[in-house]
């Protein structure tokens, strides 16, 4: 079974055909939408704590071969554009700084400072590439909405090659790593952080981004 974690309900809405094949299971105040006994969806809520809890609940309740985190993200890279689909390769936490104790930026003591995508199936990625134009990038997660006004406050963005910023994927990657579960993440660019008014961009582009997320999920469902 494959687990799919999405932060917000507004990022993906089940159509009528999907609803007819979904079984709803509730556990620990979390909803799990089981599709055709092959894929289980859950909405994590926003932020690293919520996504970590949702990930562990998903792993505890279901026998999963992989988790896919799908959602929107802001772009730091100047080569990315709104509505681009990004395959996230490397995951950092931008709001962790224990450099005073000789740890790397983003590193929690005695833990890794970053995680890699764990996807083993080349056929799966090939299938996605054949249907979408995909760009690769490194992502940093944290509990702040980053804009062109505040991103300079975070040392991580100066030290590492960060292309994409979100609020969930690093913690999902961390939980999957601890549980030895394959993990991949796809992000649709909602706003350009190096441009003014990131908040307005996010709101304006939300419907467009949701359409791309829905098309990606439909393809994943079709392939399973």
pTM to 2 decimal places: 0.92
Q: Which residues contact 157 (CB under 8 A, 6 or more apart)?
A: 76, 94, 140, 151
Task: Given the residues 160, 163, 168, 191, select the one marked as catalytic.
Answer: 191
Question: What does each C-alpha distance from 138 to 94, 135, 150 come to in angstroms?
Answer: 12, 10, 19
Domain coordinates of the chain in residue numbers? 2-222
Q: In 3D, which of 144, 153, 162, 155 has the Cα closest to residue 199? A: 144
Q: Looking at 11, 84, 163, 168, which residue is catalytic?
A: 11
User: What distances in angstroms separate CA 167 from CA 25, 36, 91, 92, one per listed residue?
Assistant: 26, 29, 11, 11
Mind listing the pLDDT tens digit for each residue in 151-184?
888 878 887 889 999 999 999 999 999 999 999 9
Superfamily of chain region 2-222: Nucleoside phosphorylase domain (3.40.50.1580)
User: Is 191 one of the annotated active-site residues of the chain?
Assistant: yes
Q: What's the burial of 101, exposed, middle or buried (CB within 10 Å: 0-12/13-18/19+)?
A: exposed
Q: List pLDDT tens digits, range 4-54.
A: 999 998 888 888 878 888 899 988 889 999 998 899 999 999 999 999 999
> Using CA atoms, how far apart are residues 131 and 51, in angstroms rounded to an integer?
28
Average pLDDT of the chain to the nearest whole number? 90
Whether 160 is catalytic:
no
47 backbone dihedrals φ, ψ, rounded to 5°: 105, 165
């Amino acid at each position: 079974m494959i687990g799919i974690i999405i932060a917000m309900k507004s990022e993906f809405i089940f159509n009528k055909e999907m609803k007819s094949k979904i079984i709803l299971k509730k556990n620990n105040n979390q909803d799990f939408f089981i599709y055709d006994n092959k894929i289980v969806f859950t909405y994590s809520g926003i932020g690293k704590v919520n996504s970590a809890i949702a990930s562990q609940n998903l792993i505890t309740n279901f026998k999963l071969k992989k988790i896919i985190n799908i959602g929107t993200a802001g772009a730091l890279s100047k080569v990315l554009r709104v509505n681009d689909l990004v395959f996230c390769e490397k995951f950092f936490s931008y709001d962790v700084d224990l450099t005073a104790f000789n740890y790397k930026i983003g590193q929690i003591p005695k833990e890794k400072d970053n995680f890699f995508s764990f996807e083993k199936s080349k056929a799966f990625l090939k299938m996605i590439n054949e249907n979408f134009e995909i760009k690769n990038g490194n992502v940093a997660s944290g509990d702040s909405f980053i804009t062109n006004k505040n991103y300079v406050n975070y040392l991580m963005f100066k030290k590492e090659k960060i292309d994409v910023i979100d609020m969930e994927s690093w913690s999902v990657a961390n939980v999957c790593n601890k549980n030895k579960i394959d993990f991949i993440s796809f992000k649709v660019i909602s706003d350009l952080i190096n441009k003014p008014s990131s908040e307005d961009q996010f709101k304006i582009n939300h419907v467009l981004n949701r359409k791309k997320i829905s098309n990606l999920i439909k393809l994943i469902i079709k392939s399973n």
